[in-house]
Amino acid sequence: MRMVDRSGYELLTNPILNKGTAFTEHERDVFELHGLLPPHVASLDQQVQRRITAFRELPDDLARYVFLRGLQDINETLHYALLTRHLEEMLPIVYTPTVGLGCQKFSQVFRRPRGLFLSPPYKDQIAKILGQRRFDNVQVIVVTDGERILGLGDQGAGGMGIPIGKLSLYTAAGGIDPSRTLPIMLDVGTDNQARREDPLYIGWRHERLRGPDYDDFVEAFVDAVAKRWPHVLLQFEDFAGPNAARLLERYRDRLCTFNDDIQGTAAVVCGALLSAVRAAGQTLKEQRIVMAGSGGAGSGIAALLVKAMVQDGLSEEEACRRFYLLGSRGLLLEGSNRLQPYQVPFAHTREHVMGWTVESREAISLEEVVRHVKPTMLIGTSGQTGLFSETVVREMAKHVARPVVFPLSNPTSQSEAVPADVMAWTEGRAVIGTGSPFAPVPVNGRAVHIDQVNNSYIFPGMGLGIVTARARRVTDTMFLAAARALADMSPARSDPNGTLLPPVSALREVSAKVGVAVALQAYEEGLAPGFDPARAEEAVREQMWEPRYESYRRAG
């Protein structure tokens, strides 16, 4: 029984409390709802059936995205009941790839506010804005500045679609109570001129803040968050590469925070690759890995895989030498003044590549790297459509029985390769994982499922474990624990033809298992001193919110 102090229209317009036609006759009497609702009293099951029918009749994915956002703003319980029961069908709508289009069209489809928009003109009011009573119970915040939305670039205030979408999955897949989540947009302007000149644009019409002014604004925000919620989980999302890595290093020891583009992507890729090598009867430390894309995401994947290799017996130096990272100017080489600190461990000596090419050694191409390294794994986070060409993939496949090819860039239009092409170029031998969903590929008379190596396999469970254990910090070893827990659930462990990752329909169970592993790892590292490891699974399950209607009693 829940005590409620609202009634009438005010109750019906509160998305957390609203039950729509599911208010009982008694509740309609008590809360003065007669006449505001049609007379039929519906069950949640009936409401879900009505909404899924309407959803499937819509003409395109953008219309479906707008439909789900509208439902979320009206009735969150119904929204999440619909989402959890049809997660495989709806994941591509609330998350990649459709969320990218939702960000591009955010100003046009904006209807009612959700979360917070914080802008430099109101920097001195951040603490006051965060201090509203309605935010007292916040446990998880996702924040973006909108500069690197998927592979679409700077979307300004439209980037708010990403925190909203991420938090939808924290709830649908991870069981985080939606009333305890908060999406935040740091609207520091945009360098996207088309957005600024759009008369419908809802954001701050200003060039993007840079340098010390930007850093001071982010510092004011983080400081206010840490004071307002000492135990909150703050997830950074879709910040541009240099800022993403820099802000993570600056704040990871000051509060409980992580960057999903760097660490979450790394963990899900690590989990999928662990599944792939186990299915092939190999070990991770045997692999030769080429990474096309050496920004925060690519380097983050490599760094976590290095930790996994070290756990498996290699030295850190030996592990790093098994990676070949390429940036916009080719293979990373020692001595370049363009190297970021997180790229330095993976830069190869010029002596090592001597004789690889007759061309300038300042720009060793992907094709040249593949020819000389003969990689077992090819991973793309470059955002360059079609980068994994037929020449590159066929060259790789000459030397490897089961080439592992992961074109991970989002959305679909930015993918380094199309799975059907990769299968054709490898005679059906490739093990493929993608960042966005692709249809199954026919190979030798059977349809081969293409694993979507999606962060939703990791970050909801990370959040669940962190919140359950009340972890003080987030570490890379917690992400590695999550990756290993995911790999342990791989269907390929028992079936050579099985998928690398569990079905999307099992995401809530995946999140529970990941949550337990993360909570236990936090405890082992001394970051969750009040947590009882003996009841870890029970505690995680108790934390998971279920979308169902409570009975209401009028307060006072």
For residue 362, what pLDDT is reported? 63
Annotated binding site for (S)-malate: 148, 410, 454
Q: What is the CA radius of gyration of the chain?
A: 24
- For residues 376 and 392, give the distance between their C-alpha atoms in angstroms, rounded to a whole number: 13
Residues 6+ apart with CB under 8 A from 329: 338, 362, 363
Q: Output the six-digit token pair for 100.
A: 């990218």
Residues 6+ apart with CB under 8 A from 80: 168, 171, 172, 178, 547
Tokens standing for residue 400: 């490897």
Q: Residue 514's closest CA among 486, 535, 488, 476?
A: 486
Q: How far is 329 from 99, CA to CA, in rounded Å? A: 30
- Residue 166 appears among annotated catalytic residues: yes
Q: Fold identical between 43-255 and 263-454?
A: yes
Q: Which of 166, 307, 324, 549 is catalytic?
A: 166
Q: Is 462 exposed, middle or buried (0-12, 13-18, 19+ CB in 10 A)?
A: buried
Per-residue buried b or exposed e for 501-513, using 16+ beta carbons within 10 Å of the residue's own CB: bbebebbbebbbb
Token readout for 519 is 């909570």
Annotated binding-site positions for a divalent metal cation: 237-238, 261
Is 324 labeled as catalytic in the residue annotation?
Answer: no
Domain ranges of the chain: 43-255, 263-454, 457-531
Cα distances (Å, whole numbers) of residue 524 to 450, 472, 479, 483, 542: 36, 13, 14, 17, 21
Can you give the pLDDT at residue 429? 93
The CATH class for the domain spanning 43-255 reads: alpha beta
Claim: this prediction has a pTM higher than 0.85: yes
- Tell me the mean pLDDT per 10 residues along the chain, length 556: 95 97 98 97 98 98 98 98 97 92 96 96 97 96 95 94 98 98 98 96 97 98 97 96 92 96 95 89 92 92 96 95 94 87 92 72 86 96 95 96 93 92 96 92 92 95 98 97 97 87 96 98 97 98 98 92
- β-strand partners of 434: 452
pLDDT of residue 120: 98
Residue ranges for the known binding site are 148, 237-238, 261, 410, 454
Would you list the DSSP string of 59-98? SSHHHHHHHHHHHHHH-HHHHHHHHHHTHHHHHHHHSTTH
Q: Given this model, what pLDDT does residue 125 score? A: 98
- DSSP for residue 118: E
pLDDT of residue 361: 53
What single DSSP character describes residue 550?
Answer: P
- CATH architecture type of domain 263-454: 3-Layer(aba) Sandwich (3.40)
- H-helix or E-strand containing 434? strand 431-434
Residue 527's alpha-carbon distances to 236, 514, 520, 531, 538, in angstroms, are 20, 17, 10, 9, 19
Q: Residue 526 burial by CB count (10 A; 0-12/13-18/19+): exposed, middle or buried?
A: exposed
Cis peptide before 97 (omega within 30 of 0): yes
DSSP 263: I
Q: Kindly name the residue from 65, 80, 95, 201 that is annotated as catalytic.
A: 95
Minimal CA–CA distance to 306: which of 556, 102, 61, 479? 479
- Whether residue 19 contacts residue 75, with contact meaning beta carbons closer than 8 Å, is answered with yes
